[in-house]
Amino acid sequence: MNFGFERVERLPGNVGYLEIRSFGFDTADVSAVAASAFNFLGNTDALIIDVRRNGGGSPHMVAQVSSYLFGPDPVLLNSLYWRPDNRTDDFYTSATVPGTRYGPDKPLYVLTSRKTFSGAEEFAYDLQSRKRATIVGDTTGGGAHPGGPTRVTDYFTVWVPSGRAINPITRTNWERVGVRPDIAVASGQALRTAHLAALRDLRSKATDAERQQALDRAIADVERERN
């Protein structure tokens, strides 16, 4: 599964695209492939990260990937309160990353679907609450409380939450309600929608005539694509 990193690409208009299918891997294993992906994406002018088919994973990997999208000063992304131990674990971005840091300033879009769940929702929610990313797509599945199975009888178990996520900005989470997108579209249209939004934003800021013309061509090409 390439440690969750499914696809990396440079789209027309110099917009980067990264699809992550899972956050369920050890950060030591992820390190090299994450560095390679962001080295490739480092010179793009805007970035789209696709978690439409991502069912979640570890908050450690969420923080690892998020570290590329902020500056070197650690940022508190999320906390998990564990009821059995009355303990709270905080998850920060890292001061250093292997490879190229994308940084806090270039436009960022995150694609979501109804299948986006758990840790992938945290990734979108963290970035949205910090106003670091524009979320594009469907409202996500709504799973914020970690837990596990508890045996009820010899034949049945129930899944019982043992903790809850606490966002440092909102002081709540996405349990049951999901992450609501900033630009609501059917998930199948999310990539085209985000790509156009990125191109139009870049076009509004472009001052070089050659760059303006290149962006105009890219916008026209994407607009002609079928949904």
- Considering the domain boundaries, does residue 18 fall inside one? yes
Tell me: the pLDDT tens digits for 50-78? 999 999 999 999 999 999 999 999 999 99
Give the number of residues written for the chain.
227
- Considering the domain boundaries, does residue 88 fall inside one? no
Tell me: the pLDDT tens digits for 18-33? 999 999 999 999 999 9
**AA identity, residue 152:** V
213 is written with which tokens?
């013309």
CA distance 211 to 207: 8
- Considering the domain boundaries, does residue 151 fall inside one? no
CA distance 121 to 51: 8
- pLDDT range class, residue 93, cuts 50, 70, 90: very high
**Cα-based torsion angle of the residue sequence 7, 8, 10, 15 in order, rounded to the nearest 10 degrees:** 100
How many separate domains does the chain show? 1
- Considering the domain boundaries, does residue 163 fall inside one? no
Q: Which helix (H) or strand (E) holds 15?
A: strand 15-20
The model carries a pTM of 0.96
- Considering the domain boundaries, does residue 138 fall inside one? yes
Domain with residue 68: its CATH number is 3.90.226.10
Give me the domain span that covers residue 182.
2-74+94-142+178-224
- Considering the domain boundaries, does residue 84 fall inside one? no
Predicted local confidence at residue 226, as pLDDT: 67
Report which of 134, 47, 130, 117 is spatially closest to residue 91, judged by C-alpha positions: 130
